[in-house]
Amino acid sequence: MTHVEFEAFEYRQDQSFAPARYRFEGDETRGWRVTRDGATALELGPGYRLLRTRVCGICSTDLARHFLPFPLPQVTGHEVIATDDRGTRYVVEINASHQARGVPHECPFCRAGLATHCPQRLVLGIHDLPGGFGPWLLVPLHACLPIPDSIEDSAAVLIEPFAAALHAVHTIAPRDGERVAVLGPRRLGMLVVAALAGVRAQRRGAFSIAALARDPALLELARSFGATETHLIDDRGAPLRDAAFDVVIDTTGNPDALATAVRLARREVHLKSTHGRASCGLTKLTELVVDELAIERFPEDGPLAGAPRVAWLAGAGAPAWLRSSAEVRSGDAATLAAQYELIRDGLPRADAVVAASAAQIDAAIRPRAGREDALLRPRGTIFVHPTADLAGSPLLGAVVARGLRLSTSRCGDFRQALALLDSDAELRRIGERLVTHRFAARSLPEAFAVAKSRACIKAVVAHSEPGKT
């Protein structure tokens, strides 16, 4: 049996840090016990391995951690490079699902290829599992991917957000001739620009990449990452016309930016921000992103492809064409969620939801207080009925009036991200261009203060190697 003891900074609800003493004791086959200041904090089953943290990046989710619906205090940090006893470097996928741990299970989400949405997963540095701002990690056995020698630490520490950026690009599927805009190219947004450029080069595509920012220096940097046009979006820049871009990807981390994205997008808004706050009349936008849900206009004449189970919240009865092609259940979100939970054939969720107000959309996303499960399956769609109450929501107004689609995405495929970086020498320079500040882990409070400043684009913290018994 192995054990390590260490001190690490915990992030608290008031956004401060305080040190705590941790001990990890156990092994991969029997599981682990995590103690904090002498008391048991977490009992983990088998399927976790012990790694040293080498480097960990600070992202917008870390800075907004106090807004997220997971308990604090916690050792946070999820953009990790870790090493084993031989010094092999790994990037670590953050979702500790049954599949990632390699344990026997009957989980319908892991079986359906939705392991990153497993309801029983822990999430490194976000939900319970101590993260990369501490010197040691317990990580799922199958979530550790070796880093190719061609990729330096400066780029490897960005694999988690770069994979998320690449997932966003694959989700929106840019079409030749389109203008794709990245709103707020900074930490994540600059990687979205790079991912768009990498995919365009790989596929020899012909879409343009626009960077929209308030800081001229960021626009110049975005061009070095592959942007083909740049626009200032404050009083110094020329005003942009409505629906100026086919797709707008909101990476700002600012709740006020969504309304701007809605105004500027013709076909689709893609939301990457997990800021934990309300926007455009919706209060559950972060959860919408976590579950990778979409919002679209309800097609009055059908069909709803790929939606055999439909939860109807919209009040007036569902049309005959829908009832003839799907199992439709009507009622309030909480009642329907309890009904779907009893299903044993496939995922215990609806495949689609039809809503007629922002409140009903929020309820579909999190129908029961104190629980983080949705009425709707991960990567499902919420359809807005044409008779919906649009008051206070420019987003829903655009969905109904213009047919705008809102899509979201979260974690990406690390293997795809590693392969793309390994194949593209220019992309491998993302770290040296993006990382502006480096700190020792003992200076974590200072690192967070700097990471919040406009002077910092990306900050990372590095660990010295602790002892092990």
**Residue 177, exposed/middle/buried by CB under 10 A (0-12, 13-18, 19+)?**
exposed
- 467 domain residue, yes or no: no
Specify whether 181 is located in the same domain as 75: no
* 408, 435, 453 - which closes a domain: 408
The pLDDT of residue 430 is above 80: yes
Domain with 69 in it: what CATH number?
3.90.180.10
The pLDDT of residue 57 is above 50: yes
Q: Helices 187-203 and 216-225 sit at what angle, rounded to 10 degrees? A: 30
Specify whether 190 is located in the same domain as 303: yes
Domain of residue 50, residue span: 2-146+425-462
Query: What would the mean pLDDT of 35-52 be, rounded to a whole number?
Result: 97
- 83 domain residue, yes or no: yes
Query: What would the mean pLDDT of 371-397 be, rounded to a whole number?
Result: 95
- 184 domain residue, yes or no: yes
- 317 domain residue, yes or no: yes
Amino acid at 397: G
Confidence class for position 239, pLDDT limits 50, 70, 90 = confident
- 318 domain residue, yes or no: yes
pLDDT of residue 305: 85
Specify whether 429 is located in the same domain as 393: no
The whole model's pTM is what?
Answer: 0.92
Specify whether 254 is located in the same domain as 294: yes
Annotate the chain with three-state secondary structure: CEEEEEEEEEECCCCCEEEEEEEEEEECCCEEEEEECCEEEEEECCCEEEEEEEEEEECHHHHCHHHCCCCCCECCCCEEEEECCCCCEEEECCEECHHHHCCCCCCHHHHCCCHHHCCCCEECCCECCCCCCCCEEEEEHHHEEECCCCCCHHHHCCHHHHHHHHHHHHHHCCCCCCEEEEECCCHHHHHHHHHHHHHHHHHCCCCEEEEEECCHHHHHHHHHHCCCEEEECCCCCCCCCCCCEEEEEECCCCCCHHHHHHHHEEEEEEECCCCCCCECCECCHHHHHHCCCEEEECCCCCCCCCCCEEEECCCCCCCHHHHHHCEEEECCHHHHHHHHCCCCCCCCCEEEEEECCHHHHHHHHCCCCCCCCCCEEEEEEEEECCCCCCCCCHHHHHHHHHCCEEEECCCCCHHHHHHHHHHCCCHHHHHHHHEEEEEEHHHHHHHHHHHCCCCCCEEEEECCCCCCC
Beta bridge partners of 211: 182, 230
pLDDT of residue 466: 44
pLDDT of residue 382: 98
Specify whether 87 is located in the same domain as 121: yes
The percentage of the chain sitting over the pLDDT mark of 90, rounded to a whole number, equals 86
Q: How far apart are CA 370 and CA 449, in angstroms?
A: 31
- 419 domain residue, yes or no: no
137 vs 67, residue with greater confidence: 137
Specify whether 183 is located in the same domain as 311: yes
Query: Across the chain, what does the average pLDDT equal?
Result: 94
Domain with 350 in it: what CATH number?
3.40.50.720
pLDDT of residue 464: 81
Length of the chain: 469
- 193 domain residue, yes or no: yes
Determine which of 64-68, 111-115, 146-150, 245-249 has the lowest per-residue pLDDT on average: 64-68
Specify whether 226 is located in the same domain as 197: yes
- 258 domain residue, yes or no: yes
Specify whether 61 is located in the same domain as 169: no
Would you say the C-alpha torsion 328, 331, 332, 337 has a positive or negative sign?
A: negative
The pLDDT of residue 467 is above 60: no
Q: How far apart are CA 447 and CA 406, in angstroms?
A: 34
The percentage of the chain sitting over the pLDDT mark of 70, rounded to a whole number, equals 98
Instruction: Report pLDDT digits (tens) over 274-333.
Output: 777 889 999 999 999 999 999 999 998 888 988 899 999 998 789 999 999 999 999 999
Total domains present in the chain: 2
Answer yes or no: are the C-beta atoms of 258 and 269 closer than 8 Å. Answer: yes
pLDDT of residue 468: 38
pLDDT of residue 465: 58
Structure tokens at 42: 């977490």
Specify whether 111 is located in the same domain as 34: yes
Specify whether 300 is located in the same domain as 189: yes
Specify whether 263 is located in the same domain as 318: yes
Answer yes or no: are the C-beta atoms of 434 and 318 closer than 8 Å. Answer: no
Answer yes or no: are the C-beta atoms of 445 and 452 closer than 8 Å. Answer: no
Specify whether 388 is located in the same domain as 429: no
Instruction: Report pLDDT digits (tens) over 151-208.
Output: 999 999 999 999 999 999 999 999 999 999 999 999 899 999 999 999 999 888 799 9
Report cis status (omega within 30 of 0) of the bond before 308.
Answer: no
